[in-house]
């Protein structure tokens, strides 16, 4: 039976496999690593390239309404002023004054601890609280007693960092606090809120996760753009930024594409490339890192066009595309951003969420941004960003729908959902665990492994080499002649190779020049000719 380890173990298993089989390494590992930076090994770089290529082929090459570009990572600093990133690309941060730890306010959760006191013991309990200086009430049953029931006492605050167990952690911290203060009565279930939602009178009472005491500062803004200097001078005039998103490249080059690309509304401009964000809490492996790759597309529509229709179209397109590279539908959901939390220009944003081992998290954001970005750049640069409408003979600034996704995040979603462990029994009745990555053939780093049954049989090796040479002209193939055939299959299972082809004695001794084709997921074997093999690859690898 095929299973996945428990969520917490699954993450460990993935990180371990990623290192062991050359998918992902810590950056600068021999120097102790650099937090938030990663390297992709020989298998990882193939998997990543395949995901990127699938996206590019489906998003750009196979469509007639989208063109691709590649813009520079460092752009004119005015780009980031116009886009709002210089003023507003910030995370609210909270510092612990004692431990010097820094937390993102939206990832630091807290809850008031409320106990329903009983009639009989309330007086006693309130005295205990008063003795400890906690919320000493002005009148016994007055200000300290909150909520609709007069018996509810606020006995303190608890805090925990965001995780899939935040609520459980807060609840057990609340129980511990109640025990510590020896308060009787019924503990109310905690209602977690994040630090950005804390009222000023609460921030001074919430304990730091590091010290357990109320040592936290109020939230402060921190800009996440990496700053550098262009040229020899290092003064204010030379300041530039590593781009925090690829999207602005499409807006800034909008006119260039319109003037040269023979495009007509509605149309899109797409690019893939590195982005950099000085994240405060890079975490969950490659889920949130400081250097990552984005795949973004700006789809421009007429100002009078139905933006909601196109928004839905792109949400559906993105979900279908995720399925096409093998992500399971059961792990995918949608989250609509609350209207009151949207930027003033935004018409709507929907995130495609994915069930990662550490919880359901954003994978792909699809935003309807009106004509805000082009208008901002038109104003800041003084260069109009309009299009001429033949029908109305009027100029207007197109509106945009932006599907933006992180390639590394898709990579992690793929590893997490394709990883499986199976108990298998061999011919001798021995049971072992088979680790298998059930990668779609579209994105598997190696499409096919060529295995001569024995390495010391010249004829077998020669036929295997000839097939391998032919296969690798078109597909990433792998030649392996070492170890017994079972071990060689297992090695390929672990890196997600969909098929192994074995050149055995039937190949060279019987008529028909057939091979044993072994399928990764079912482990079923059948005989195929070279023509059938190439037809299978042609159909499944696109």
CB closest to ligand GAP, residue no: 406
**Structure tokens given for 323:** 């399925």
In the complex with ligand GAP, the residue whose CB is nearer, 291 or 480, is 291
Q: Is 327 in the site for ligand GAP (CB under 6 A)?
A: no
State the minimum distance, in angstroms, from the CB of residue 97 to ligand GAP.
27
Euclidean distance between CA atoms 167 and 502, whole angstroms: 52
Binding flag, residue 277, ligand GAP (CB under 6 A)? yes
Of residues 279 and 389, the one with the C-beta less far from ligand GAP: 279
Mask 425-444, x = binds ligand GAP (CB under 6 A)?
A: --------------------
Q: Does 253 bind ligand GAP (CB under 6 A)?
A: no
Distance of CA 517 to the CA centre of its chain: 35
Q: CA 277, 278, 281 angle in degrees (round to 5)?
A: 110
Report how far apart, in Å, the C-alpha atoms of 11 and of each of 136, 289, 437 are: 46, 16, 14
> Which of 103, 364, 419, 468: binder of ligand GAP (CB under 6 A)?
364
Residue 466 contacts residue 452 (beta carbons within 8 Å):
no
Which range binds ligand GAP by CB under 6 A, 3-11, 65-73, 284-292, 522-530? 284-292
Candidates 288, 355, 442, 520; binder of ligand GAP (CB under 6 A) is 288
Going by the DSSP 8-state scheme, the letter that residue 430 receives in this structure is -
Residue 410 vs 495, nearer CB to ligand GAP: 410
Within positions 153 to 182, which residues make up the interface with ligand GAP, using CB under 6 A?
Answer: none
Choice from 108, 404, 436, 446 touching ligand GAP (CB under 6 A): 404
Name which of 499, 516, 498 is nearest 452 in CA terms: 516
Q: Could you tell me the smallest distance in angstroms from the CB atom of residue 401 to ligand GAP?
A: 12
Cα–Cα distance list, 527 to 67, 502, 522 (Å): 43, 10, 15
Judged by CB under 6 A, the residue of 130, 362, 389, 506 near ligand GAP is: 362
Q: What angle do CA 146, 149, 152 make, to 5 degrees?
A: 50
Q: Which two tokens stand for residue 435?
A: 């680790």
Which one of 93, 134, 242, 247 is in contact with ligand GAP (CB under 6 A)?
247
Nearer to ligand GAP, 89 or 499 (CB): 89
Tell me how far, at minimum, the Cβ of 475 lies from ligand GAP, in Å: 29
* Residues 374, 197: Cα–Cα separation, whole Å: 33
CB of 117 to ligand GAP, least distance (A): 45
SS3 content of the chain, % helix, strand, coil (to 5): 35, 30, 35
Kindly tell me which residue out of 266, 406, 452, 496 binds ligand GAP, with binding defined by CB under 6 A: 406
- Part in contact with ligand GAP (CB under 6 A); list of ranges 6-14, 304-312, 404-412, 505-513: 404-412
Phi/psi region, residue 18 (left: phi>0; alpha: psi -120 to 50; beta: rest), is: alpha
Q: How many residues bind ligand GAP (CB under 6 A)?
A: 19
Task: Work out whether 403 is an interface residue with ligand GAP (CB under 6 A).
Answer: no
Using CB under 6 A, which of the segments 42-50, 90-98, 359-367, 477-485 binds ligand GAP?
A: 359-367
The strand pairing partners of 24, in sequence order, are 40
DSSP code for 190: P
Q: 3-state SS of 241-284?
A: EECCCCHHHHHHCHHHHHHHCCCCCCEEEEEEEEEECCCCCCEC
Q: Which of 203, 289, 492, 497 binds ligand GAP (CB under 6 A)?
A: 289
Pick one of 178, 409, 438, 518: the residue that binds ligand GAP (CB under 6 A): 409
Cβ 156 vs Cβ 93: under 8 Å: no
Q: Helices (H) and strands (E) in the chain — how many of each?
A: 16, 28
Which parts of this chain interact with ligand GAP (CB under 6 A)? 245, 247, 277, 279, 288-289, 292, 294, 296, 362-365, 402, 404-406, 408-409
């Amino acid at each position: 039976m095929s299973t996945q380890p428990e969520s917490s173990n699954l993450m460990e298993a993935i990180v371990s496999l990623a290192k062991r089989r050359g998918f992902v390494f810590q950056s600068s590992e021999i120097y102790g690593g650099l937090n938030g930076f990663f390297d992709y090994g020989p298998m990882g770089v193939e998997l990543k390239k395949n995901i990127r290529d699938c996206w590019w082929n489906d998003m750009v090459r196979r469509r007639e309404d989208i063109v691709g570009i590649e813009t520079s990572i460092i752009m004119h600093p005015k780009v980031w002023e116009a886009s709002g990133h210089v003023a507003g690309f910030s995370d609210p941060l909270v510092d612990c004054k004692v431990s010097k730890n820094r937390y993102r306010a939206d990832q630091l959760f807290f809850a008031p601890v409320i106990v329903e006191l009983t009639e009989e013991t309330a007086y006693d309990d309130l005295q205990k609280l008063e003795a400890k200086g906690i919320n000493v009430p002005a009148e016994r049953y007055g200000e300290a007693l909150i909520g609709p029931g007069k018996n509810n006492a606020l006995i303190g605050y608890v805090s925990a960092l965001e995780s899939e167990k935040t609520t459980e952690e807060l609840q057990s911290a609340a129980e511990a606090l109640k025990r510590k203060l020896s308060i009787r009565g019924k503990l109310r279930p905690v209602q977690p809120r994040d630090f950005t939602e804390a009222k000023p009178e609460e921030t001074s009472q919430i304990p730091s996760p590091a010290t357990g005491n109320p040592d936290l500062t109020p939230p402060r803004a921190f800009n996440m753009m990496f700053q550098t200097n262009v040229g020899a001078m290092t003064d204010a005039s030379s300041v530039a930024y590593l781009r925090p998103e690829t999207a602005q490249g499409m807006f800034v080059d909008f006119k260039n594409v319109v003037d040269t690309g023979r495009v007509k509304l509605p149309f899109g401009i797409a690019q893939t490339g590195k982005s950099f964000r000085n994240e405060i809490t890079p975490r969950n492996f490659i889920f949130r890192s400081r250097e990552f790759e984005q795949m973004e597309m700006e789809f421009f529509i007429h100002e009078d066009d139905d933006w909601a229709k196109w928004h839905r179209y792109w949400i559906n397109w993105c979900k279908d595309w995720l399925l096409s590279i093998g992500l399971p539908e059961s792990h995918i959901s949608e989250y609509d951003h609350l209207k009151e939390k949207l930027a003033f220009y935004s018409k709507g944003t929907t995130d495609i969420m994915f069930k990662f081992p550490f919880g359901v998290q954003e994978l792909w954001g699809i935003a309807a941004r009106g004509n805000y970005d082009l208008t901002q750049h038109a104003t800041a640069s003084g260069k109009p960003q309009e299009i001429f409408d033949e029908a109305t003979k009027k100029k207007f600034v197109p509106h945009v729908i932006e599907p933006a996704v992180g390639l590394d995040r898709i990579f992690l979603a793929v590893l997490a959902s394709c990883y499986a462990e199976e108990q298998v029994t061999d011919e001798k009745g021995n049971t072992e665990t088979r680790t298998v990555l059930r990668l779609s053939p579209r994105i598997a780093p190696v499409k096919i492994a060529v295995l001569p049954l024995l390495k010391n049989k010249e004829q077998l090796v020669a036929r295997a080499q000839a097939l391998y040479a032919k296969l690798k002209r078109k597909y990433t193939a792998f030649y392996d002649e070492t170890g017994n055939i079972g071990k060689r299959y297992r090695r390929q299972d672990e890196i997600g190779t969909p098929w192994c082809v074995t050149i055995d004695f039937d190949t060279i001794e019987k008529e028909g020049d057939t091979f044993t084709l072994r399928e990764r997921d079912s482990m079923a074997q059948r005989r195929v000719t070279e023509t059938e093999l190439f037809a299978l690859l042609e159909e499944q690898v696109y």
